[in-house]
Amino acid sequence: MIKEKENPLKKENKGFNQWMKTSNTFRIISIGILILILLIPTSMVKNLILERKRSHSKIVKEISSKWGNEQTITSLVLSIPYKKYFKNRNNELVENIVYAHFLPKELKINGEIFTEIRYRSIYEVLLYNSKLKIEGKFLNPSFKDWSEITEKNILLEDAFISLGISDMRGIKDNLFLNWNGKQYDFNSGLENDDVISSGVMVKIPLEMPENSKFHKFSLDLNINGSEKLFFVPVGKSTEININSKWKTPSFDGQFLPDTRDISENGFSATWKISHLNRNYPQKWLETKHKIDYSSFGLKLLIPANQYQKSMRSIKYAVLFIALTFLSFFFIEVTNKKKIHPIQYILVGLALVIFFVLLVSISEHLNFDIAFILSCIAVTTLITLYTKAIFKDKKLAGIIASILIIIYGFIYTILQLEDFALLIGSLGLFIVLTFAMYFSRKIDWYGKNKN
């Protein structure tokens, strides 16, 4: 009988199929492709975290808008109107009222912040009430530096004081200004917005006492706000003292406090600012100065921002998956076990589910507890699945140990923000060392078919 010749193409396909089954290189390439595929559900979880974070921000804005938003206090500005004349197109002399603005020589603010956490559904919002004692003094306003202004054109009787408050809804009590021992009521709205865009004002019939060079002032401000309290250093010398029982402040703005003390009982901070530290004068005419840029103060932070930590953790998702798959690969090669790509996918999905559990649990419990519970759930699931695949308790125990080490490594990085890069790079170096060690005898070319 004549033997039928084997089809060369069929023989080539058979060899290629055999190579795919036995080649470790092909396995690594396949694992890499599977990791890329798992980036799709990972990105979906990332979008979920962002969506929950946006929902939280929306709730914060909604509650803050009714209580009081972030507050910036500008106190105080003395404005004096005067007459200015110019000729119009018809060569007629026209009178115009413009303003000279004066800032205080000394400004002192002493205050205490009382915090309160409000809840809406599963979200929490940090609010505060602050009681501020504002005092200082103005020099007698002088127009001598402006020769174009004559004394008869200065309207001292129409002078007014402005107090800048960024969100007027936060004002709790009526405001009274003690000016040279006399009390005046503040009114809502501003007569002029050259300096302050939002706030209250009070008319001061300005008198120039012969026996004093100063005008002393004081007022008590009871104000609500949320998260941030800033001040504008309008004094030639500005001193601000703030204390609170809140334990996690963040000092921000153009100036940091000269002294601060943060403990388990709260914090206290003191700022001392000179007029030389900012870029606008103590007095000027007409020109609008945006003095808010020099503001400074503090932010009150909620210690456990679960969405921020969850977002940081999911950035390590690829590392989670890659290290776990690498562990399975070495077990597969060194123990002559076979793992189907679908089984890799299922393990990868379990790792992705970890982040979903982390976000959902951390909305109800402390982030650290949520991390531990999610870690236990996923590690248990993958360990039992590994035992079912390999029929080997020892290999399942090895996988469980590796997962615990990986989760512990990532948790450490999350806790040590300042040293995250150092710890992360050292950890990856150790992982690479083990990978090189265990892969040193792997037959990458598939020469040893057996």
In a domain, 62, yes or no: no
Does the pLDDT at position 102 exceed 80?
yes
Residues sharing a CB contact under 8 Å with residue 239, sequence separation 6 or more, in sequence order = 107, 108, 109, 270, 271, 272, 273
Quick check: is 433 in a domain? yes
CB 204 within 8 A of CB 184: yes
Residue among 47, 37, 79, 83 at smallest CA distance from 347:
37
**Angle at which helices 341-362 and 317-334 cross, to 10°:** 150
Share the mean pLDDT of the chain.
83
Could you tell me if residue 87 is inside a domain? yes
Q: Are 352 and 317 in contact (CB under 8 A)?
A: yes
Does residue 27 register a pLDDT over 60?
A: yes
pLDDT digits (tens, 9 = 90+) for 44-76: 888 888 888 888 788 878 887 788 888 999 988
Would you state the pLDDT for residue 16? 46
Q: Are residues 142 and 262 in the same domain?
A: yes
Q: How far apart are CA 78 and CA 163, in angstroms?
A: 9
Q: Are 290 and 147 part of one and the same domain?
A: yes
Instruction: Give residue 103's pLDDT band: very low, low, confident or very high (50, 70, 90).
Output: very high
Same domain, 76 and 97: yes
What is residue 222's predicted lDDT score, i.e. its pLDDT? Answer: 93
Instruction: Say if residue 299 is in the same domain as residue 339.
Output: no
Residue 219 reports pLDDT greater than 90: yes
Show which of 275, 303, 331 is a domain's final residue.
303
Does residue 254 sit in the same domain as residue 363?
Answer: no
Buried b (16+ CB within 10 A) or exposed e, 92-131: eeeeeeebbbbbbbbbbbebbbebeebeeeebebbbbbbe
Would residue 64 count as lying in a domain? Answer: no
CB 45 within 8 A of CB 119: no
For the chain, the distance separating the N- and C-terminal CA atoms, rounded to the nearest angstrom, is: 35
DSSP codes joined into one string, 298-340: EEE--S--HHHHHHHHHTTHHHHHHHHHHHHHHHHHHTT----
* E strands in 93-234: 93-102, 106-120, 123-139, 160-165, 176-179, 182-185, 187-188, 199-203, 214-225, 228-232
Tens-place pLDDT, residues 353-366 = 898 898 888 888 88
Q: d(Cα 178, Cα 182) in Å, to the nearest integer? A: 5
| Other beta carbons less than 10 A from residue 283's beta carbon | 16
Domain presence at residue 63: no
DSSP, collapsed to helix, strand or coil, labels residue 254 as coil
Residue 270 and residue 314 in one domain: no
| Residue 316 confidence (pLDDT) | 81
Quick check: is 10 in a domain? Answer: no
If asked whether residues 211 and 236 sit together in one domain, one would say yes
Q: Report how far residue 235's alpha carbon sits from residue 274's, in angstroms, rounded to the nearest whole number.
A: 8
Burial class (CB in 10 A: 0-12, 13-18, 19+), 405: middle
Q: Judge whether 6 lies within some domain.
A: no
Tell me the pLDDT tens digit for each residue of 225-261: 988 999 999 999 999 999 999 888 889 999 999 999 9
Reported as a pLDDT band with limits 50, 70 and 90, residue 14 is low
Boundary of a domain, candidates 303, 323, 341: 303
Is the distance from CB of 159 to CB of 81 less than 8 angstroms?
Answer: yes
Residues spanned by the domain of 87:
69-303
Establish if 448 belongs to a structural domain.
no
Answer yes or no: are the C-beta atoms of 378 and 357 closer than 8 Å. yes
Distance CA 323, CA 140 (A): 73
3-state DSSP assignment of residue 61: helix
Domain boundary among 251, 279, 303: 303
Do residue 288 and residue 317 come from a single domain? no
Number of domains in the chain: 2
How many percent of the chain have pLDDT more than 70? 89
On whether both 295 and 335 belong to a single domain, the answer is no
369 and 272 inside one domain: no
Structural contact between residues 403 and 294, judged by C-beta atoms closer than 8 angstroms: no
For residues 268 and 351, membership in a common domain is answered with: no
Based on the domain organization, do 197 and 328 belong to the same domain? Answer: no
CA 67 to chain centre: 21
